[in-house]
């Protein structure tokens, strides 16, 4: 059932990308033929417009609140861009808005609200056991349902007998999740990773079946495992899903 849901989302996103490429090509062709003015082309084929379309998709098919915040920010950026080319059409001071001094702080606020609301809205789980730090006196352990890293770094080693999934959110930070001392149940175990200007490393045993299902925007998800002849003959699957924007997700063993 979950696999069908993932496949449906992948198909929908693939169709969206296809339409974006077709639409972008048509706009560029019409501009080259002289049917569209340069300002219109620069508005339609702009980063704010692309962000708006992706945010609408995110709001409808992934996470409503995150998508809504993306729509809000991209709309402000898009109106600002329109005001630059058509100041008479938008006669209030949007064209004076600075990205560095106005839009970027708003973006930080939006990301912060999104992370906090996600933590509050999600019921707390107690089935994940992590080692946050190791000292000579022994292991320091805590029960933990997820990890949010903002302007920092975190390393977590799962020592619970069974790992049942988690979520990791990083904004201008890095996180390491080590699963080599644990195991997963039959069926699907899901890790949701959302990276914005950051990086996440996930270490897994070499015989695990790992399925990657992430959306990358100016980012990358790489499987850097060293493959061996040892294979898993069970129905255990580790699914890594989420998004990566201006960052990287690496899977290692």
- Residue that finishes a domain, picked among 121, 150, 170: 121
d(CA 178, CA 146): 13
Distances from the Cα of 144 to the Cα of 114, 141, 161, angstroms: 20, 9, 15
Instruction: Compute the Cα dihedral for 134, 138, 140, 143 and give only its sign.
Output: positive
Considering the domain architecture, whether residues 160 and 216 belong to the same structural domain is answered as yes
Query: What residues make up the domain containing 62?
Result: 2-121
pTM summary value? 0.49
pLDDT at site 132: 40
Considering the domain architecture, whether residues 113 and 206 belong to the same structural domain is answered as no
Considering the domain architecture, whether residues 133 and 246 belong to the same structural domain is answered as yes
Closest by CA position to 247, among listed 153, 154, 171: 171
Q: How many CB atoms lie within 10 A of CB 134?
A: 11
Considering the domain architecture, whether residues 134 and 243 belong to the same structural domain is answered as yes
User: 94 versus 21: which is more confidently predicted?
Assistant: 21
pLDDT single digits (tens) 43-65: 888 777 887 888 787 777 766 66
pLDDT at site 203: 92
Contacts with 87 (C-beta within 8 Å, 6 or more apart), sequence order: 95
Considering the domain architecture, whether residues 116 and 146 belong to the same structural domain is answered as no
- Residue that finishes a domain, picked among 97, 121, 145: 121
d(CA 167, CA 146): 5
Considering the domain architecture, whether residues 138 and 117 belong to the same structural domain is answered as no
Average per-residue pLDDT for the chain? 72
Contacts with 170 (C-beta within 8 Å, 6 or more apart), sequence order: 148, 149, 150, 194, 195, 196, 198, 199, 200, 247
pLDDT single digits (tens) 221-238: 888 877 666 555 567 889
Considering the domain architecture, whether residues 54 and 161 belong to the same structural domain is answered as no
Contacts with 96 (C-beta within 8 Å, 6 or more apart), sequence order: none
Distances from the Cα of 229 to the Cα of 172, 200, 243, angstroms: 37, 27, 31
Number of domains in the chain: 2
Query: What string of DSSP letters covers 96-165?
Result: G--IIIIIHHHHHHHHHHHHHHHHHHSPP----EEEEEEETTEEEEEE-SEEEEESSEEEEEE-SSEE--
Considering the domain architecture, whether residues 91 and 138 belong to the same structural domain is answered as no
Closest by CA position to 145, among listed 166, 163, 170: 166
- Residue that finishes a domain, picked among 121, 156, 171: 121
Considering the domain architecture, whether residues 137 and 158 belong to the same structural domain is answered as yes
User: Where residue 127 falls among pLDDT bands split at 50, 70, 90?
Assistant: very low
pLDDT at site 202: 92
The residue with tokens 């973006």 is: 107
Considering the domain architecture, whether residues 174 and 244 belong to the same structural domain is answered as yes
Considering the domain architecture, whether residues 196 and 113 belong to the same structural domain is answered as no
| 238 burial level (CB within 10 Å; 0-12, 13-18, 19+) | buried
User: 106 versus 130: which is more confidently predicted?
Assistant: 106
Considering the domain architecture, whether residues 134 and 214 belong to the same structural domain is answered as yes
């Amino acid at each position: 059932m979950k696999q069908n849901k993932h496949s449906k989302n992948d198909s929908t996103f693939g169709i969206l990308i296809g339409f974006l490429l077709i639409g972008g090509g048509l706009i560029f062709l019409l501009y080259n033929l002289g049917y569209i003015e340069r300002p219109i082309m620069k508005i339609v084929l702009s980063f704010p417009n692309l962000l708006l379309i992706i945010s609408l998709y995110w709001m409808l098919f992934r996470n409503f609140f995150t998508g809504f915040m993306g729509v809000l920010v991209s709309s402000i950026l898009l109106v600002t861009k329109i005001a630059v080319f058509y100041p008479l059409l938008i006669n209030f001071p949007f064209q004076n808005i600075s990205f560095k001094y106005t839009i970027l702080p708003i973006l930080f606020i939006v990301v912060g609200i999104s992370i906090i609301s996600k933590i509050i809205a999600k019921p707390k789980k107690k089935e994940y056991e992590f080692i946050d730090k190791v000292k000579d006196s022994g292991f320091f352990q805590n029960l933990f349902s997820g990890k949010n890293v903002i302007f920092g770094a975190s390393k977590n080693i799962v020592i619970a007998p069974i790992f049942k999934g988690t979520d990791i959110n990083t904004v201008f930070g890095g996180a390491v999740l080590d699963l080599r001392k644990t195991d997963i149940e039959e069926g699907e175990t899901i890790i949701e990773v959302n990276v914005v200007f950051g990086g996440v490393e996930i270490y897994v045993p070499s015989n695990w079946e790992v399925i990657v299902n992430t959306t990358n925007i100016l980012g990358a998800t790489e499987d850097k495992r060293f493959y061996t002849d040892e294979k898993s003959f069970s129905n255990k699957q580790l699914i890594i899903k989420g998004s990566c924007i201006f960052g990287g997700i690496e899977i290692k063993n």
